[in-house]
Amino acid sequence: MSDSPSLLIDPSRLHALLEEASARFNVVAVAECASTNTLLQQRAAEGAPSGTVLVTDRQTAGRGSRGRTWVASPEASLTFSVLWDFSGGLARLSGLSLAAGVAVVRALARCGVRSGEDGVMLKWPNDILYGDAKLGGILVELSADNTAAHAVVGIGLNLLLPQSIGEADKAMLPAAALEQIVAPLPGRHVLLAGLLVELARVFDCFAVDGFSGLREAWHACHAWQERPVRLLRDGRVVTEGVCAGADADGALLVRTAGGLERCLSGDVSLRPR
C-alpha cells in the first residue's frame, strides 16, 4: 500500500485529495470505535452537520445487514460512515443503499478496479461482490425530524483477505479483498477520497430523482441479473425465481411461477439457486 495502514486517516491530507468536493465534507478520524454508524448517529443527534464523515482505524462491533457483526482492522480494511441530509420524508430514501453501491463501484474504477462480470459487482440490497464473494458492504440507517431526512451510510471494504472466518459466518458468502483485484493496492487516503467524491455525486442525483435516476447504472453492475435465486428468511426459503433487478423504488424484482414479485424487506437474504 502507498500509505501506512496503521496510521489514522489525516483529514488535511484527505481534503487535499477531495478537490472541489472538499467543502462538502467534515472528516473525523478515530483510532477505534465499536461502530462508525452508531457513533456517527450519536454525533448527528448532538448536532453534527450533513457531510460529516467518521472513519476509524479499528471497528470492534460494526453492524452489517440483519445484525451481523463487521469487525475491521486498519491493515485489512477501510471502514467509515457518512452523514447526509435529504429534503422530504423517509419514503423518498428508498433504494439509497443501492445508490451508494453505484458510488462505490465508480470510486473503485478511479483506482483501476474493473467492474462487470470479471470484476466488482453489486448484490441487492447492500453487498459489494467480486465474483460471488463479498468484497464489502453498505449499511444505511435513517432518521428524520421536521426539517430533513438524515441518512448515515456506513461502508466497509476488505483490503486484505481475512485470515479466518468464524462459525457464525460460514453460511454467508465467502470473502474477497481488493488485494486480489488490483496491484498495487491503493492507499487508504486515495481510496477514501474517491469514495467520498462519488458518494457526493450520487447523493446529488438521488436528491433530485431518487433511485430511479441511478437504476440503469445499478443494473449495469448487478451481479445476479437474470440468475435463478432464492429469498430466505431465518434460513427458510420464502421465494424462488429469476432475479429481474430492482424497480424504481429499489425493491428487488423476482420472476416466479406466480408472476413478478417485489421485495423491499431488509430481513431477507438473497442467494443463488
Q: Which of 220, 241, 264 is the last residue of a domain?
A: 220
Please tell me whether residues 216 and 232 are part of one structural domain.
no
Please tell me whether residues 87 and 215 are part of one structural domain.
yes
**What pLDDT score does 147 carry?**
85
Q: Is position 108 within any domain?
A: yes
Please tell me whether residues 193 and 239 are part of one structural domain.
no
Please tell me whether residues 113 and 191 are part of one structural domain.
yes
Residue 264's domain spans which residues? 228-272
Q: Which of 220, 237, 255 is the last residue of a domain?
A: 220
- Residue 84 pLDDT class (50, 70, 90 cuts): very high
**Given a cut of 60, is residue 68 above it in pLDDT?**
no
Please tell me whether residues 47 and 173 are part of one structural domain.
yes
Please tell me whether residues 199 and 234 are part of one structural domain.
no
- Residue-wise pLDDT for 21-38, tens only, equals 999 999 999 999 999 999
CB-neighbour burial class of residue 54 (10 A; exposed 0-12, middle 13-18, buried 19+): buried
**What pLDDT score does 5 carry?**
44
Place of cell 433504494: 95
Q: Is position 1 within any domain?
A: no
Q: Of 131, 139, 125, which is closest to residue 245 (Cα–Cα)?
A: 125
Q: Any idea what DSSP says for residue 175?
A: B
Helix (H) or strand (E) holding 245: strand 236-246
Q: What's the pTM value of the predicted model, to 2 decimals?
A: 0.91
- Residue-wise pLDDT for 195-220, tens only, equals 999 999 999 999 999 999 999 999 99
C-alpha separations of 182 from 24, 91, 103 in Å: 29, 38, 18
Please tell me whether residues 261 and 214 are part of one structural domain.
no
Give strand pairing partners of 177: none
Give strand pairing partners of 84: 151
Please tell me whether residues 133 and 245 are part of one structural domain.
no
pLDDT higher for 69 or 132?
132
CB-neighbour burial class of residue 216 (10 A; exposed 0-12, middle 13-18, buried 19+): exposed
Task: Give CA–CA dist 155/120, Å, rounded.
Answer: 15
Please tell me whether residues 89 and 210 are part of one structural domain.
yes
Q: Is position 3 within any domain?
A: no
| Number of domains forming the structure of the chain | 2
The CATH number of residue 123's host domain is: 3.30.930.10
The grid cell for 181 is 483485484
